[in-house]
Amino acid sequence: MENNITDEELQQSNAIIKAISEYYTSRIVGQKNLQISLLISLIANGHILVESVPGLAKTTAAKVLTESCGGKFSRIQCTPDLLPSDIIGTQTYNAKTAEFETKIGPVYANFLLLDEINRSSSKTQSAMLEAMQERQVSIGGENYKLPDVFIVIATQNPIEQEGTYPLAEAQQDRFIIKETLNYPTANEELEVLNRIESNIFETGKKVVNIKDIKYLQEISKKVYIDEAVKKYIISIVYSTRNTDKVIGPELARYVTNGASTRASIAFMEAGKALALINGRTFVTPDDIKALSHSILRHRISLNFEAIADEVKVETIIDAIINSIKVP
């Protein structure tokens, strides 16, 4: 098995990941899956979508991750009247110089938190497409390159809530991961109250820097992924497009669209990041299985019949995973 990562590089990577993880744990109670997903997006330099009902620390978790890393942070509270120029920037006329000046918006940051993204209009949502995919913005015909480390952390409330605009499939596909949060346990909620009472949630300081994040991203690219694991990824993604051949008509009838090639790329990049988080220099099939919900839940489209029958997309994903032979 090939291994391009030295022991020294692995130790340094582990130290950086451990520092971020310990800081996160000191500030956030529970939400282990969210911690892993945020770390993956950080290491893979990909964007993450976080969904839950209000009040489950989505925004707090995003802020904790970004403050642990330093770098430039921007937060945008999405509302129905938010304009694309409020995010991207615009040109303004300077009467003194009789010239137009470019004002770059809050999009120019290392970490951009789009709070309640599905409360903004579809026009504003689409304004982020170029920034998320091309990592640049266009203002007045000029292109402005975004920082090398550029991660969008978008939060949203469930689509069925009043006053929301469903994210377009093309927009959702830009997120490497989608994480959903559940309510904390009684013990976790008690711990939250105790920490608040003791003022443990006071703002902390960065434990790593942007240079460390770039280092992790470079090391992640060197993580080994075997050809057999790549074929396993392709089998999973292919099966989402041909569910009738894989999971049978009972469940297949609920699926309208499967995952795109971006899903395969996301599996590979997130798999490498997860291997690094687990202290390994190679990707295993178990890494891919562990990521299946996060990678596919926003890339498989279900029809209205699925909603009526209360069939969840995770049920479809599990059926696909269970039907494919593990290498």
Spell out the SS3 assignment of 191-259: HHHHHHHCCCCCCCCCCCCHHHHHHHHHHHHCCECCHHHHHHHHHHHHHHHCHHHHCCHHHHCCEEECC
pLDDT of res. 1: 46
Which two tokens mark 158? 């469930």
Q: Work out the mean pLDDT of the chain and round it to a whole number.
A: 84
pTM: 0.87
pLDDT of res. 163: 67
* pLDDT-based confidence at residue 320 (cuts at 50, 70, 90): very high
* pLDDT-based confidence at residue 199 (cuts at 50, 70, 90): low
Tell whether the model's pLDDT for residue 162 goes beyond 70: no
CB-based contacts of 193, cutoff 8 Å, min separation 6:
none
| Nearest CA among 66, 65, 179, 50 for reference residue 118 | 50
pLDDT of res. 51: 84
152 with 2: CB under 8 angstroms?
Answer: no
Q: What is the pLDDT of residues 106-140, one digit of tens each?
A: 888 888 888 888 888 878 877 787 788 888 887 77
Tell whether the model's pLDDT for residue 296 goes beyond 50: yes
Which two tokens mark 307? 């909603």
HSE, CB side, 13 Å, CA atoms: give it for residue 273: 27
pLDDT of res. 2: 52
Sequence letter at residue 167: L
Going along the chain from its start, the domains and CATH numbers come out as 6-198+208-222 (3.40.50.300), 223-327 (1.10.8.80)
Tell whether the model's pLDDT for residue 200 goes beyond 70: no
Q: What is the pLDDT of residues 71-85, one digit of tens each?
A: 788 888 888 888 888
Hey, which bits of the chain come out as E strands?
Answer: 47-51, 73-77, 89-94, 99-104, 111-115, 136-139, 142-145, 151-156, 175-180, 255-257, 301-302
Tell whether the model's pLDDT for residue 277 goes beyond 90: yes
